[in-house]
Amino acid sequence: MAHKHNIKALDTLLKDLCNSDELFGGNIVVFGGDFRQVLPALPHKTQAEAFDASLVSSSLWSQLRKVSLTENIRAKEDPHFQSFFLTLEMETYKQEILHR
């Protein structure tokens, strides 16, 4: 994960290069990942400080269009992976309940 300042710098750079006031200079930029789970790696920082450095806490976050994948093609075509994925999903769900 990139620090939110890096994303803001990319926005500023693309606006300057494209001579545009649109977000990212009017270019399509794709960010991938689970933004609720993956935080920037910041040595010697707390979890709260890492969250504060993430894209989710950036002023740009509200301007971005969020798209979620709705179908896992690999799980559909690979029964072994599907079984593994479902087990992993159940363990994650149990951990979420325990931490509430």
Domain match, 21 and 61 both: yes
Instruction: Read off the pLDDT band of 94 (50, 70, 90).
Output: low
Number of domains into which the chain is organized = 2
Q: What is the mean pLDDT of residues 65-78?
A: 79
- Measured CA angle at 47 (ends 54, 89), to 5 deg: 85
Instruction: Read off the pLDDT band of 26 (50, 70, 90).
Output: very high
Is the whole-model pTM more than 0.75?
Answer: no
Domain match, 13 and 23 both: yes
Domain match, 74 and 59 both: no
Range with the poorest average pLDDT among 27-31, 32-36, 65-69, 96-100: 96-100
- Residue 7, domain extent: 1-68
Give the Cα separation of 73 and 44 in Å (integer): 38
Domain match, 44 and 77 both: no
Domain match, 89 and 62 both: no
pLDDT at 83 over 90: no
Domain match, 26 and 62 both: yes
- Token readout for 66 is 């969020």
Domain match, 59 and 90 both: no
